[in-house]
Homo-oligomer: A and B are copies of this chain.
């Protein structure tokens, strides 16, 4: 469906625009590399090898080089990668060389916890609005932000130019909230509700599903047990 087999004039602009389809696993690894590079900036030397990045990211040197090769060639043969330069490049690639306005929909326990997760702001994700349907919460505040009712969703998101939404509402409310957020122009959703959201293909959704991850653990443990 929607076959974007675009002409590939290859190597046209190796830096900014990327043409080929990038595996999701590559993106996850880039996040790891970025964190490793940040660590290295404090403690390590000025350059890293793919080998070193591989060890820290629990992958292989070839994988590191292949991952990076999707976006250009950033290393020097015989030397490795300039730590600071590669870090900046990865920030660009991952789109974290800027700040993102985020709205929190659902100020329950999980939502609120996230809100003060320190790692968010350090990456430029800035919470600019909180929405919750609980009348007892509306009007009260969290770290300088007032909690609004769901009826304000459209005006808030549009008015503030929100691009990302953290959706942390009960499953039954999630689909509707997602649709309204998309209609209000948001560009991506981090979804905590344990359902598969139906949104237009151009709106990426990342699912956070803790029960599923626990199930993966109990499967792995049970599995191992029943071998042997």
Contacts and interface: CB of A to CB of B under 8 A. Distances in A.
A16 B190 CA distance: 36
Nearest to A110: B113
B96 A215 contact: yes
Nearest to A188: B217
Interface string A100-123: 100000000110111011011001
Task: Work out how many copies of this chain go into the complex.
Answer: 2
A79 interface: no
Given A31-B212, A116-B109, A217 B194 contact: no
Interface residues of A, number: 64
B190 A202 contact: no
A22 B220 CA distance: 10
B188 A204 contact: no
Interface string A18-40: 11001010011011101100000
B17 A218 contact: no
Interface in A178-228: 187-190, 194-196, 202, 204, 206, 208-224, 226-227
